[in-house]
Structure 1
């Protein structure tokens, strides 16, 4: 059952769905269910959602929301992001409640990873 008024699904633009899928599978272990060539649903990611084909990307400088992913090993995840073709946009820094870094994935969307 879905909790009333909870965030329940997330849709993310991708310039290249195959590239986004490969990146998030390699770094974070996400799996997918494809719904045609222009939409793929990610599962086992903490929230259900999907990548949809679009010629746009999102970043904080554009005022877009930041999607933050949790990691038990921040330094190892940072290395995995770089090895998978991501670019670090803010190296590991402290913030109230923990530490995090920001990155863009190969299609240019900006995300963050945090840990205690």
Structure 2
């Protein structure tokens, strides 16, 4: 079990789901990952915390705008959400949700990078972020899909200080971003094989014990398979969507990857 009590600035620290069907999402993800989904009460607008082994691992919330498609949002820890907002807009990002306080928890904001991929920042108060990572059923990786990788490198380096390192992965160059020698996130360029209507986006990955079995379970719970289980250098991964259409990744990491 990899427990977390805090995150250094520039580290992905949380993910949450925006969906038109919170009840359906709670059933799907609790069935898939074994999460205990807890309603935070009317003062939090129907937001629910998902726990695994007694620790928070993700959030679920209703869409505030009916035009927003179901999606997972990745959040990066920052010291000051207002300062981060200035840095993000100066680097060409767009503000979707201005910095706002979450009572008793912290301060958050949501943005889009210059290509349109949405992400959030989290200024911790009493709540630091995910209390469990890299274990089966918990967040283990965040990955940007974009048609403009060079612009993304410049943007995320300017905003979070992430340093890119490229490596060949099939016919594409995969980028791993690091900060102070620690891997933070990844980036995969979107080529002509991607449907033009699919926008740039961040994809959250959850660790699993068996990628094939998890994909079968997701399909049995009403999910759809976008990328079937596939071997990659770090393990075996797949991309699926929940019944409402929100995409996420799952990966069974090789033992040497988690040592």
Which TM bucket (shorter chain)? 0.7 to 0.9
Q: Residue in 1 aligned with 2:8? A: 4
For the pair 1:71 / 2:208, whether they are aligned, the reply is yes
Residue from 212, 221, 237 that aligns with 1:84: 221
Q: Residue in 1 aligned with 2:70? A: 57
**Separation of aligned partners in 1, 2:219 and 2:208:** 15
Residue from 37, 41, 52 that aligns with 1:32: 37
**Separation of aligned partners in 1, 2:227 and 2:20:** 22
Structure with greater contact order relative to length (CA < 8 Å, sep ≥ 6):
1
Which stretches of structure 1, 4 residues or more, deviate above 6 A after TM superposition?
none
**1:51 alignment partner, SS class:** strand
CA shift for structure 1 position 4 = 2.5
Q: Residue in 1 aligned with 2:249? A: 112
Higher Cα radius of gyration: 2
**Separation of aligned partners in 1, 2:71 and 2:14:** 17
Gaps of 5+ in 2: 73-144, 146-197, 255-259
Gaps of 5+ in 1: none
Change (3 A) 1:47 1:34: closer
| TM norm structure 2 | 0.41
For the pair 1:102 / 2:107, whether they are aligned, the reply is no
Is residue 9–residue 47 contact of structure 1 (8 Å, CA) maintained in 2?
no
**1:65 alignment partner, SS class:** strand
Question: Size of the alignment, in residue pairs?
Answer: 116
**Separation of aligned partners in 1, 2:207 and 2:15:** 16
RMSD: 2.2
CA shift for structure 1 position 112 = 1.1
CA shift for structure 1 position 47 = 5.6
Q: Residue in 2 aligned with 1:93? A: 230
**1:8 alignment partner, SS class:** strand
Is residue 57–residue 107 contact of structure 1 (8 Å, CA) maintained in 2?
yes
Change (3 A) 1:95 1:79: same
Q: Residue in 1 aligned with 2:20? A: 15
Q: Residue in 1 aligned with 2:52? A: 44
